Amino acid sequence: MAGNVKYFEGVVVTDKPRAPLTATGEELLKMLKIIENDIIPLTERGVETGSKMFGAAIMDKNHNCIHPDTNAESLCPTFHAEVKCIVSWSKKTPAKDRGPIAQSSIFLATHEPCMMCISSILWGGWNKCWYFFGYENTAEQGIPHDINTMHELWGVKSYRKQNKYLSTNSIMDAIKELPESSIKTECLELQAKLIKEYDRLSTKYHTEKVNNADNSLVLG
């Protein structure tokens, strides 16, 4: 089949872009709760060690958390949350199962993945990725490197959100598109709570990194 790439048994990626990601209100709420209950507690401890306030998780097809993780740049400069999540998950997942699980599961990032992380998600085999904050929000939180590096290295503002390998989507944008309902109200309330939490974590990171001898990040 010309122009097609076969990854795993029975799974074929064509040259056509994947369809946009969609989710129900209940699924969006489950993702917000994973951020609140599974990711933020890890991120709280990560910020204490001088790492940034980014997190990630791998979810099953029903949007249940398989593995949460957080940024660990204090351990390794390339341990953005997404990369750290993939590495940690890979260590506990048999090699023969990694591809099939990735293809059938969903990646979740608290912040839109940078060019290194979106590439890592692609190479890991995931074809669905949701994120909470977009690049503009991340820049407003005092970390503009995702936008800057993509522009400087590739001359673009963003990767293609739908391409033949994967599709990504914004949780906030998807919530905005929900019809008015009690589930939308609940999503918006939790969204506002999470925004405040990340504002707090951002302030903590930027305030404390100056006096943290272990934080020698070039792109801090």
Asked if the model's pLDDT at residue 13 lies above 70, the reply is no
Name the nearest CA neighbour of 147 among 165, 137, 135, 159.
135
Written as one letter, the residue type at 51 is S
Residue 214 is assigned to a structural domain of this protein: no
The residue segments making up the domain with residue 129 are 25-92+100-205
With cut-offs at 50, 70 and 90, classify the pLDDT of residue 216: low
Average pLDDT over residues 51-55: 94
Question: Residue 117 maps to which CATH number?
Answer: 3.40.140.10
The pLDDT value given to residue 102 = 97
Asked if the model's pLDDT at residue 34 lies above 70, the reply is yes
Asked if the model's pLDDT at residue 134 lies above 60, the reply is yes
Residue 134 is assigned to a structural domain of this protein: yes
* Count: domains in the chain: 1
pLDDT tens digits, one per residue of 156-189: 889 999 999 999 999 999 999 999 999 999 999 9
Task: List C-alpha distances in Å: 96 to 59, 99, 101.
Answer: 19, 7, 9
- Mean pLDDT, the chain, whole residue set: 90
Residue 135 is assigned to a structural domain of this protein: yes
Residue 59 is assigned to a structural domain of this protein: yes
